[in-house]
Amino acid sequence: MNIVIVEDEIKIRNGLSRLLSSYDEHQVIAKAKNGKEGIDAIISLRPDLVFTDIKMPEMDGLQMLEQLKDEGIGCHSVILTGYAEFDYAKRALNCGADDYLLKPITVDAVDKVLSDISKKIIKEATKIDANPSSYIRAIITGALDNTEENLKIAERIFELLPGYSLSFVRGYSPNGRFSYEALEEKFRDYKGLYISEDRKDLFLIIDKSTSRYKSDEDISAMLNRRLPVISELKESIWYISNIPTIEKLKDIALSSDKKLLVSQMINKKIIIENEVSEIAENDYKYNPEIEKVIERILVKGNKKNWDEWSENFINDILGKGYNPSSIRQLYMNLSNYIMQLSVKIWPEKGRQLRELESVEKISKAKVLYELKECLDEQASIIYTNETSRDDIHNYTILRAIAYIRENYANKISQEDVANYLSITPEYLSTLFHREMNKTFSVFVNEFRVSHAKRLLKGSDLKIYEIAEQVGFTDTKYFNRVFKDIEGISPKEFRER
Type of residue numbered 88: Y
Mark out the alpha helices in 266-323 (DSSP H runs): 273-278, 289-300, 303-317
Q: Residue 5 has what DSSP assignment?
A: E
pLDDT at residue 88, as a whole number: 65
The 3-state DSSP class for residue 44 equals: helix
Please say if the pLDDT value at position 255 is more than 60.
yes
Non-local (6+) Cβ contacts of 50 within 8 A are 3, 4, 5, 6, 38, 42, 75, 76, 77, 78
Q: Is the peptide bond before 288 cis (omega within 30 degrees of 0)?
A: no
Give the distance, in angstroms, between the CA of residue 289 and the centroid of all CA atoms in the same chain.
Answer: 25
Give the percent of the chain with pLDDT over 70.
93
Non-local (6+) Cβ contacts of 164 within 8 A are 207, 209, 210
* Phi, then psi, of 176 in degrees rounded to 5: 65, 55
pLDDT tens figures, 416-439: 998 888 788 887 888 888 778 888
The CATH architecture annotation of domain 129-135+146-271 reads 2-Layer Sandwich (3.30)
Please say if the pLDDT value at position 278 is more than 80.
no
pLDDT at residue 5, as a whole number: 94
How many Å apart are CA 259 and CA 264, to the nearest integer? 9
Provide mean pLDDT across the span 87-91. Answer: 66
How many Å apart are CA 30 and CA 50, to the nearest integer? 10
Out of 29-43, 213-227, 337-351, 443-457, which region has the weakest mean confidence (pLDDT)? 337-351
359-363, 389-393, 441-445, range with greatest mean pLDDT:
441-445
How many Å apart are CA 70 and CA 95, to the nearest integer? 10
Average pLDDT, the chain: 85
How would DSSP label each residue in 108-176? HHHHHHHHHHHHHHHHHHHSTT--HHHHHHHHHTT-----HHHHHHHHHHTTPPTT--EEEEEEE-TT-
What is the pLDDT confidence band of residue 281, given thresholds at 50, 70 and 90?
A: low
How many Å apart are CA 85 and CA 57, to the nearest integer? 16
Secondary-structure class of domain 2-124 per CATH: alpha beta
pLDDT at residue 239, as a whole number: 95
Q: Residue 22 has what DSSP assignment?
A: T
Q: Classify burial at 102, counting beta carbons within 10 Å of its beta carbon; exposed 0-12, middle 13-18, buried 19 or more.
A: middle
Sketch the domain layout of the chain as residue ranges.
Answer: 2-124, 129-135+146-271, 289-381, 395-495
What is the pLDDT confidence band of residue 334, given thresholds at 50, 70 and 90?
A: very high
Higher pLDDT, 22 or 127: 22
Secondary-structure class of domain 395-495 per CATH: mainly alpha
How many Å apart are CA 437 and CA 435, to the nearest integer? 6
